[in-house]
């Protein structure tokens, strides 16, 4: 009877097997055979945007933070990490791409469409030519 109460969770995921998690009875362990998937977002410096870096599988958010730190924060400078259950993320369907076509041309909204650097370069060239003439 004592062995049944300390049954180790077996999974196809080697991280779960390595953790050697034990549970009370078999019914309690049914939901823990496969961990929940969490999306990981990384911030390299305070004040910058978080960017999606990958996923981790964990039984809860605290363990997901720990796994994310070990997996994604050891390679580069990290200011902050977010973990979000994948089931909490909503996304548009690719078939619904017509909702993004409000106007055919949006160049005026993109700062790259303004040719400021070209104008600055032209001005510098004019200034050079004027200074050579004098």
Q: What is the CATH number of the domain that holds 117?
A: 3.10.20.520
Domain that holds residue 84: 35-133
Residue 21 domain flag: no
**Mean pLDDT across the stretch 92-101?**
82
CA distance 132 to 134: 6
* Residue 34 or residue 85, greater confidence: 85
Residue 115 domain flag: yes
Per-residue confidence band for 132, with pLDDT thresholds at 50, 70 and 90: confident
What pLDDT, on a 0 to 100 scale, did the predictor assign at position 68? 94
CA distance 16 to 4: 19
Residue 20 domain flag: no
- φ, ψ for residue 56, nearest 5 deg: -135, 155
Q: How many domains does the chain divide into?
A: 1
CA distance 112 to 132: 32
Average pLDDT, the chain: 79
Residue 55 domain flag: yes
What pLDDT, on a 0 to 100 scale, did the predictor assign at position 30? 59
Mean pLDDT is highest, among 58-72, 95-109, 115-129, for 58-72
Residue 15 domain flag: no
Per-residue confidence band for 128, with pLDDT thresholds at 50, 70 and 90: confident
Residue 107 domain flag: yes
Residue 86 domain flag: yes
* pLDDT of residue 2 exceeding 50: no
Per-residue confidence band for 101, with pLDDT thresholds at 50, 70 and 90: confident
57 in Cβ contact with 19 (< 8 Å): no
Residue 17 domain flag: no
């Amino acid at each position: 009877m004592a062995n049944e109460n300390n049954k180790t969770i077996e999974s196809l995921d080697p991280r779960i097997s390595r953790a050697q998690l034990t549970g009370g009875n078999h019914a309690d362990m049914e939901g823990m055979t496969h961990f929940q998937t969490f999306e990981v977002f990384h911030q390299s410096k305070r004040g910058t945007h978080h960017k999606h870096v990958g996923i981790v599988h964990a039984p809860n958010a605290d363990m997901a933070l720990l796994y994310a730190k070990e997996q994604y924060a050891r390679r580069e400078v990290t200011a902050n990490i977010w973990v979000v259950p994948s089931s909490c993320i909503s996304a548009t369907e690719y078939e619904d791409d017509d909702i993004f076509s409000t106007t055919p041309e949006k160049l005026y909204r993109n700062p790259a469409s303004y040719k400021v650097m070209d104008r600055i370069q032209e001005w510098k060239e004019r200034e050079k030519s004027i200074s050579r003439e004098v």
